[in-house]
Amino acid sequence: MSNQILIFLLDTILGLFSLALLLRFYFQLLRVPYYNSISQFLIAATDFIVRPARRIIPGWGGLDLSTLILAWLLECIIITSVYMVQDYDFGANIGTASGTMGLLGIVEIVKTTLYIVLIAIIMQAVLSWVNPHSPLAPLLDNFTRPFLSVFRRYIPPIANVDLSPLFVLIIIQLLLMIVAGVHMQIAAMLH
């Protein structure tokens, strides 16, 4: 019972911080406006670790790689901690276990990214029906536009209803199934 509580706390606290780092990275990548309350919150919550990391991990092509690598490291810490709490013996094959934890961290980043896009698209769709002039609407529009524009080029609105979110959500669900399969294959390397 106490192991489950510890796993829950580690996953929740470190997972939320990893999510904040990922959102910060994607907000910068997708050029989401800097002066909104969510961007300001993400910067304030993560700056204490991102600024020092930038001295060690340089950016590349305008990307803030330090933020992305920190999110990945946190995911690796979460996964390793869960295995340690479940009494997995890393000593016997530390090299394989380290590589596997790194790969599982990448899989978790991909999975979290897919969920971020999925939730943003659903929120945007709901807001467009309920309150299209919400302060959150421009933020969600900037965030989801790159994903939706691919389908908007080929699928015109039908009776003023944009079907592109539906197609993006279907593709995200398919990708999540693939990611789950990859996760199982990588985790099987530990056994």
- At 176-186, the pLDDT tens digits run 999 999 999 99
Q: What percent of the chain has pLDDT over 70?
A: 99
Tokens of 65: 């790689």
- At 69-90, the pLDDT tens digits run 999 999 999 999 888 888 777 7
Full residue range of the structural domain in which residue 146 is found: 2-188
Total domain count for the chain?
1
pLDDT at 167: 94
pLDDT of 1 > 80? The answer is no
Mean pLDDT of the chain: 90
- At 99-135, the pLDDT tens digits run 899 999 999 999 999 999 999 999 998 998 898 888 8
pLDDT at 161: 84
pLDDT at 7: 87
